[in-house]
């Protein structure tokens, strides 16, 4: 597409956007009586208007049915998670049996590593990205220590080359191959939170399996953002939060994926709880854990109905949008337009005021563009917020801007560039 840096062009793209009306299903924060241009969906998605309705239904069930709500009503709580599983599966390229809504992200990462980090003999090391989100770093460090290893020895980190901001796939795969017989687990984030780089998940997974390792993914910034095919790529396990691109509310419920190839392994280690027990006999309260089939067998505590209801509200919007394919097409164009507009700002000021560190190749990015701002970067960010453009700040000088295809427009992108230019001119 040949872009133009003017309002009428941006508005023409919005007029021809088949997803433009979905924006009306979300609530935008206000400042000084005006809605924000909200470019922070990579951190917390907007509230669906339907959230109050679906939550209200469950509050009414609690009121009218009380404990009988577990088995009575239009959506008994005992089985409510199954409604979500059908809608979660297409978002991560899985079957409904392979996914389950439960807990929160890092809790699930720990629970899955109980099953899938199985160090033995010389094969005890974990490969991960050097710039992983701190929560992943802490979780992996603690898991390694729990098994009696020194993190400085057991964890191998892949860092960008000197002078570069993103990782090269060949550097990741070469490191996996060179340490092949030492690697127990390859554990990466699908998209790097800082740069917005989308890793070649299929290639990395194949490389990990080729050396005999288990491969898992943290999809916090990928699920609901980019099309992943967890089943087809034979990923062993994955987990994600749902409050970023999937708009389930602050601290919203997490999701897990376990590939069906692991379902027959009933001897696999796991931390068990009664909600993961075989559903048909769960209420017999027998001793001796017998897991429910599929990903549901990793559940521990009873269903978190209210958080699931909020997640359900957003998942229904994904369904109405046609899930990821049409959203991905718009996302590619939105981010490409933002990169173009930032380039136009730099041309206008005569130097690279804003350096894009997110990959230019759309196959290597999702709905996020990270920029390094020269000079008083924090001051620029603060002025963006003061002028109703809400992105995300990361030390020391990075501004993350995330045009989300569900609710952002091309005009949002143009207006953001217009403001960046005015701030650059001081």
| Residue extents of the structural domains in the chain | 7-35+323-424, 54-320
Note the pLDDT of residue 152.
97
Nearest to 245 by CA among 213, 276, 219, 217: 219
Helices (H), 93-243: 105-116, 134-146, 151-154, 169-178, 201-210
Q: How many CA atoms lie within 13 A of 77 on its CB side?
A: 23
Q: CA-to-CA distance for 246 and 46, rounded, in angstroms?
A: 9
Taking every pair of C-alpha atoms in the chain, what is the biggest distance, in angstroms? 73
**Going residue by residue through the chain (426 aa), what tens digit of pLDDT does each one get?**
899 999 999 999 999 999 999 999 999 999 999 999 999 999 999 999 999 999 999 999 999 999 999 999 999 999 999 999 999 999 999 999 999 999 999 999 999 999 999 999 999 999 999 999 999 999 999 999 999 999 999 999 999 999 999 999 999 999 999 999 999 999 999 999 999 999 999 999 999 999 999 999 999 999 999 999 999 999 999 999 999 999 999 999 999 999 999 999 978 999 999 999 999 999 889 999 999 999 999 999 999 999 999 999 999 999 999 999 999 999 999 999 999 999 999 999 999 999 999 999 999 999 999 999 999 999 999 999 999 999 999 999 999 999 999 999 999 999 999 999 998 876
Decide whether 7-35+323-424 matches 54-320 in CATH topology.
no
3-state secondary structure of 293: coil
The answer to whether the beta carbons of residues 116 and 127 sit under 8 Å apart is no
- What are the distances in angstroms from CA 192 to CA 120, 200, 218, 219, 220? 29, 12, 10, 10, 9
CB atoms within 10 A of CB 381: 22
Cα–Cα distance measured from residue 44 to residue 402, given in angstroms and rounded to the nearest whole number: 11
- pLDDT value at position 421? 94
- Fold topology of 7-35+323-424: 3.90.1150
Asked whether 46 and 27 are in contact (CB, 8 A), the reply is yes
The contacts of residue 302 (CB under 8 Å, 6+ apart) are 274, 275
CATH architecture of 54-320: 3-Layer(aba) Sandwich (3.40)
pLDDT of 426 reads 61
């Amino acid at each position: 597409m040949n872009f133009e840096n003017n309002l009428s062009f941006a508005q023409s793209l919005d007029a021809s956007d088949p997803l433009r009306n979905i924006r009306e299903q979300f609530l935008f924060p206000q400042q000084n009586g005006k809605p924000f241009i909200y470019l922070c969906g990579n951190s917390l998605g907007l509230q669906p208007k339907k959230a109050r309705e679906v939550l209200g239904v469950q509050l009414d069930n609690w009121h009218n049915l009380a404990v009988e709500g577990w088995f009575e009503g239009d959506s008994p709580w005992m089985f409510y998670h199954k409604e979500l599983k059908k809608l979660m599966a297409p978002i991560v390229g899985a079957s409904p049996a392979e996914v389950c809504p439960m807990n929160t992200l890092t809790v699930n990462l720990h629970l899955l590593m109980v099953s899938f980090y199985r160090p033995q003999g010389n094969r005890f090391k974990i490969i991960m990205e050097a710039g992983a989100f701190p929560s992943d770093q802490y979780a992996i460090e603690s898991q390694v220590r729990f098994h009696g290893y020194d993190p400085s020895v057991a964890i191998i980190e892949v860092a960008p080359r000197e002078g570069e901001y993103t990782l090269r796939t060949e550097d990741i795969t070469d490191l996996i191959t060179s340490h092949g017989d030492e690697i127990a687990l390859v554990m990466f984030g699908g998209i790097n939170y800082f740069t917005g780089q989308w890793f070649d998940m299929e290639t990395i997974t194949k490389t990990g399996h080729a050396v005999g390792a288990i491969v898992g993914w943290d999809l916090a910034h990928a699920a609901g953002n980019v099309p992943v095919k967890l089943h087809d790529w034979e990923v062993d396990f994955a987990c994600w939060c749902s409050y970023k691109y999937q708009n389930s509310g602050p601290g919203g419920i997490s999701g897990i994926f376990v590939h069906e190839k692991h379902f027959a392994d009933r001897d696999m280690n796991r931390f068990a709880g009664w909600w993961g027990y075989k559903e048909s006999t769960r209420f017999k309260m027998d001793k001796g854990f017998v897991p429910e089939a599929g990903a549901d067998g990793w559940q521990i505590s009873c269903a978190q109905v209210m958080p699931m209801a909020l997640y359900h509200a957003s998942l229904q919007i994904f369904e109405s949008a046609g899930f990821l394919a049409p959203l991905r097409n718009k996302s590619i164009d939105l981010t490409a337009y933002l990169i173009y507009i930032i380039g136009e700002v730099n041309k206008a000021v005569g130097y690279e005021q804003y350096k894009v560190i997110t990959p230019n190749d759309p196959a290597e990015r999702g709905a996020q563009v990270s920029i390094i701002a020269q000079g008083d970067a924090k001051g620029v960010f603060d002025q963006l917020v003061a002028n109703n453009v809400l992105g995300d700040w990361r030390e020391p000088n990075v501004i993350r801007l995330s045009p989300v295809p569900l609710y952002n427009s091309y005009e949002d992108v143009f207006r953001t560039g217009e403001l960046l230019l005015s701030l650059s001119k001081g």
